[in-house]
Amino acid sequence: MDLVPALEEPLKKVLGPATAKVMAEHLGLHTVGDLLHHYPRRYEERGRLTHLADLPMDEHVTVVAQVADARLHTFASSRAPRGKGQRLEVTITDGSGRLQLVFFGAGVHKPHKELLPGTRAMFAGKVSVFNRRLQLAHPAYELLRGEGEEAVETWAGSLIPIYPATAKLESWKIGKALQTVLPSAQEAVDPLPESLREGRGLLPLPEALLKIHRPHTKADVEDARARLKWDEAFVLQVALARRRHADAQLPAVARRPKPDGLLAAFDDRLPFTLTEGQRKVSAEIFTDLATEHPMHRLLQGEVGSGKTMVALRAMLAVVDAGGQAAMLAPTEVLAQQHHRSVTEMMGELAEGGMLGGAEDATKVVLLTGSMGAAARRHALLDLATGEAGVVIGTHALIEDKVQFHDLGLVVVDEQHRFGVEQRDALRGKGKQPPHLLVMTATPIPRTVAMTVFGDLETSVLDQLPAGRSPIASHVVPAADKPHFLTRAWERVREEVDKGHQAYVVCPRIGDEEDDPKKSGKKKSAEDEAEKRPPLAVLDVAEQLARGPLRGLRVEVLHGRMPPDDKDAVMRRFAAGEADVLVATTVIEVGVNVPNATAMVIMDADRFGVSQLHQLRGRVGRGSAPGLCLLVTEMPEASAARQRLTAVASTLDGFELSRIDLEQRREGDVLGQAQSGTRSSLRMLAVIDDEDVIAEAREEAARVVAADPELTGLPALRTALDALLDEEREQYLEKG
């Protein structure tokens, strides 16, 4: 069935090339249908004002407010040396909070005439902090002139829709563009099977689109949202259900461990007992491995819950059954670390074919891009002959030259750092599709697991192994209370005096060349309020070694160091030959130094919630308690500061992942980076709509079981193609 022509109409034909270009470049909207699915973020009531106290930092916002006062200042600057520079400061209010607007130079004349005290308007701009106060620099604005002709025509109801907008295209301009295309909503094809729609009392799609963009009442908005959420949840779950159905048809070799083989020998030599969680999850994995279609399992576990041990036992079970297992790590540092810890845990069981190797032993090889030619040739030969049962490597494992004798299991560590194509290329190395185990230490709420990893079965490790220590976390407000930062460095010295070690993490390396594009720009007056660049490893290490940490052994680690140097630094740190490691986030994943008890994260507001949680998991890995200090210069009222307080207040990764998701609501849950500006889930909030997602998953499974090709539901197929353009379909297929 052809897609509906009216909704496929390019925007440039309908709105003109200039507006269409901005919509395509900044909002990813290309057709009439795209624009109809660009839903309002929220609604303002015509007579009411926005709550200014809750504005998020660094975000593009639209607010409805009233001008309280406006003052024109003159000042001297490099461009206006005789005191001829002009700055207009306008204070707007909603009765509970105030916000400063600032206009510069020639841009002051129009607002000076129009923004008189008492005027109501919509203002759009990016919220920043200047002199510790929130402000909008050079906001765009649209006066609300009461009930004039134009106002009534554009804002049909009493609710004003506020759209996700950009600096180039304000919310009210998007509203006017929608006015033009709204009649086409009548031709929208309804993807929900009629029985489902009627059974759940949902609006028809054309009516839902009209009500979401031009509601007359709040009930209109609720009805439209309920319907549009179902569309997204259902179409997405149908895509995942079809994927699961297709996977269940694929053949795989069942892999059952021998009762007295390699796995049994490994378990016998373990110096500790597995936690109950590790035993339960291992049993789920072994059941999957024994079936004749490929396992697709997601293993999530808190930092330090022992995922690597579970994965290693799965790999040994496959080797026992005559296959090979590959573990894919996102960085060389991590691949080397895994290789070291696996060979240590296995002892003589990792020395297959060597003198002193145990009877059931296999070979464990490392394969990374920076290995010497001879070592690499050797490793490749061991893989091709089957001599090596276990291989650990980076994406070097995916290259065409790498051939396996019989690849039975692929373990992907830290799934979110791998492109889907990379995982798929590795899966393609088996004679039949290998079993797949995906591991992540970023806890994923159940709804997200159902949405993002809907084609994977999920196992959760939520117990920490015995002997792990608690981690105390504190926010260090360096700008408000500089003495707190001084105390932070004293705490690091105290830990080192007790014989422990510390990490200092910075967002940047510091040897970047100045970007000529940036340095060539003249600084405008508003740029003077620009934020300073993030702190850099090389600068901070030097300042610490000369200042507060003088006399301690301070080393540096970052991603642009040659691999051998990185490995040497990690070895020295692990061996206790360095006291403080100043690093970028290369230490975020998998680095295990039980003697490191303190971590100071500089400019902590520049990191995401899950990243901070990952980083913090590098301390408290031994018997001594851990300490994590989050240093920031952000003001107390800012969203960034609230985020840090949330991280400091709980060690529960699932709780933090909820906070993270709520903050990144606009992020694309399906996108490979799982964050970004355009969301394929425009209406569905993964956290709040758990019931809708769970019900849609059941309905989708029923529909696909009855009609896997959806031959009887052409409108649903059309919607599937539209939601999952080629790239997304691929992402889902390979996820």
Q: What is the DSSP string of 512-526?
A: PPP-HHHHTSPPPGG
Kindly report the average pLDDT of the chain as a whole number: 81
What percent of the chain is modeled with pLDDT above 70?
81
Q: pTM here?
A: 0.64
700: three-class secondary structure by DSSP: helix
Which pLDDT value is given to residue 370?
A: 84
Higher pLDDT, 267 or 332: 267
Least confident of 162-171, 452-461, 541-550, 725-734: 725-734
How far apart CA 36 and CA 17 sit, in angstroms, is: 18
Which pLDDT value is given to residue 45?
A: 75
Least confident of 175-189, 311-325, 354-368, 489-503: 354-368
How far apart CA 80 and CA 67 sit, in angstroms, is: 28
Q: Kindly report, residue by residue over 115-130, the tens digit of the pLDDT.
A: 999 898 888 888 888 8
Which pLDDT value is given to residue 670?
A: 43
Question: Residue 597 class from Cβ within 10 Å (0-12 exposed, 13-18 middle, 19+ buried)?
Answer: buried
Residue 193, pLDDT > 50, answer yes
pLDDT category at 589 given cuts 50, 70, 90 is: low
Residue 669, pLDDT > 60, answer no
Residue 46, pLDDT > 70, answer no
How far apart CA 732 and CA 735 sit, in angstroms, is: 5
Closest CA to 618 of 641, 643, 602, 601: 601
Other Cβ atoms closer than 10 A to 95: 12
Which pLDDT value is given to residue 413?
A: 83
pLDDT category at 656 given cuts 50, 70, 90 is: confident
Other Cβ atoms closer than 10 A to 612: 26
How far apart CA 149 and CA 379 sit, in angstroms, is: 77
21-25, 212-216, 489-493: which has the highest mean pLDDT? 489-493
pLDDT category at 675 given cuts 50, 70, 90 is: very low
pLDDT category at 280 given cuts 50, 70, 90 is: very high
pLDDT category at 555 given cuts 50, 70, 90 is: very high
Residue 34, pLDDT > 60, answer yes
For the residues 313-328, what does the mean pLDDT come to? 93
Which pLDDT value is given to residue 447?
A: 67
Exposure of 143 in the CB half-sphere (CA atoms within 13 A): 14
387-396, 440-449, 651-660: which has the highest mean pLDDT? 387-396
Which pLDDT value is given to residue 735?
A: 40
Task: Give all strands (DSSP E) within 480-636, no chain letters.
Answer: 501-505, 554-557, 580-583, 596-601, 626-632
Which pLDDT value is given to residue 148?
A: 46
**624: which DSSP letter?**
S
pLDDT category at 149 given cuts 50, 70, 90 is: very low
How far apart CA 370 and CA 368 sit, in angstroms, is: 6
Phi-psi category of residue 510: left, alpha or beta, with phi > 0 → left and psi -120 to 50 → alpha: left
Question: Residue 56 class from Cβ within 10 Å (0-12 exposed, 13-18 middle, 19+ buried)?
Answer: middle
